[in-house]
């Protein structure tokens, strides 16, 4: 007798239930085995004896040695690169404080203002002209520094301290003739020091600001002399306009062409640059 469809469904359900029961039993067995293994691993064992402490080491001197020169006595490339970057970062301050740049730039700027031209020539042109004039004037000093300090240091014949001392000699020789004794005495009294016995005994920290003060004083004297003829032209033009009743017309508009014409006729730029170069002993 063949089973009907209802009986087959019942047998199928029973088989499924039996399979699920067997799967649950297997899973329970696996979980129980893992828990027992974990408990056996985590079980406490015998205590371990502590490690005895180690004796302290003898302290050293704590000094740090920095080698500037290479194996052959010449400076390493890293040190030369570092010094080059440092000099480039402080080059503007050195250019302003220890060369003729400040005096030349101030005189050229005052000449431009005396002409009544506020932005012609522009600041870049004035600064560039002052820079190259400073290089022209300072070329003997720069050549002496290169011969006495830079080349011996790069060749490994002189350390960095001796190179700086050798480089300060040409700079001192350039700045001392341009510095007034009154300015050196002013800076010496401000620092509370005794007056130096000789000019060579003046320290650089006193000589550099005194040199700057003397340069600014000379620049303003030259600027005052340059202003006088252009001021006379402004006064004459203003008086002529007042006498003609043209009070609403700006005198600068009329005097500017005459000032430019006068400046061209007397070769103003040549006279000013010649006077600046000769003020430092004639240049190279």
Decide: 255 and 234 in contact? Cβ < 8 Å. Answer: yes
pLDDT recorded at residue 187: 83
54 found inside a domain? no
76 found inside a domain? no
Looking at the 3D structure of the chain, how many domains does it have?
A: 1
Taking alpha carbons only, the member of 148, 151, 136 closest to residue 172 is 148
Residue-number span of the structural domain to which 247 is assigned:
102-278
- Backbone conformation region of residue 240, classed left if phi is above 0, alpha if psi is from -120 to 50, else beta: alpha
Mean pLDDT of 61-82: 62
pLDDT band at 283 (very low <50, low <70, confident <90, very high): very low
**Can you give the three-state secondary structure of 53-116, one letter per residue?**
CCCCCCCCCCCCCCCCECCCCCECHHHHHHHHHHHHHHHHHHHHHHCCHHHHHHHHHHHHHHHC
78 found inside a domain? no
pLDDT band at 4 (very low <50, low <70, confident <90, very high): low
83 found inside a domain? no
Decide: 218 and 205 in contact? Cβ < 8 Å. Answer: no
Give me the chain's average pLDDT, please: 76
179 found inside a domain? yes
261 found inside a domain? yes
pLDDT band at 244 (very low <50, low <70, confident <90, very high): confident
Taking alpha carbons only, the member of 139, 197, 145 closest to residue 168 is 145
61 found inside a domain? no
125 found inside a domain? yes
pTM for the model stands at: 0.63
Gap between the Cα atoms of 24 and 280, Å rounded: 107
């Amino acid at each position: 007798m063949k089973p009907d469809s209802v009986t087959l469904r019942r047998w199928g359900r029973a088989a499924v239930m039996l399979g699920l029961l067997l799967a649950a039993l297997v899973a329970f067995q696996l979980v129980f085995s893992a828990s027992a293994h974990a408990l056996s691993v985590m079980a406490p064992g015998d205590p371990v004896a502590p490690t005895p402490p180690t004796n302290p080491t003898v302290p050293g001197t704590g000094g740090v040695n920095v080698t500037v020169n290479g194996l052959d006595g010449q400076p390493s490339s890293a040190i030369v690169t570092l010094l080059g970057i440092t000099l480039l970062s402080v080059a503007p301050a050195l250019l302003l404080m220890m060369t003729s740049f400040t005096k030349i730039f101030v005189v050229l700027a005052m000449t431009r203002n005396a002409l009544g031209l506020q932005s012609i020539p522009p600041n870049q042109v004035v600064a560039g002209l002052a820079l190259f004039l400073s290089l022209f004037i300072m070329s003997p000093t720069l050549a002496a520094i290169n011969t006495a300090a830079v080349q011996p240091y790069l060749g490994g014949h002189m350390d960095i301290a001796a190179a700086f001392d050798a480089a300060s000699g040409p700079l001192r020789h350039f700045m001392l003739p341009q510095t007034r004794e009154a300015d050196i005495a002013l800076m010496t009294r401000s620092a509370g020091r005794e007056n130096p016995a000789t000019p060579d005994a003046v320290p650089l920290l006193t000589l550099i600001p005194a040199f700057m003060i003397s340069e600014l004083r000379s620049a303003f004297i030259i600027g005052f002399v340059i202003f006088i003829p252009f001021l006379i032209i402004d006064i004459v033009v203003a008086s002529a306009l007042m006498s003609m009743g043209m009070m609403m017309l700006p005198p600068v508009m009329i005097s500017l062409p005459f000032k430019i014409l006068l400046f061209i006729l007397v070769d103003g730029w040549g006279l000013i640059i010649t006077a600046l170069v000769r003020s430092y002993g004639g240049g190279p």
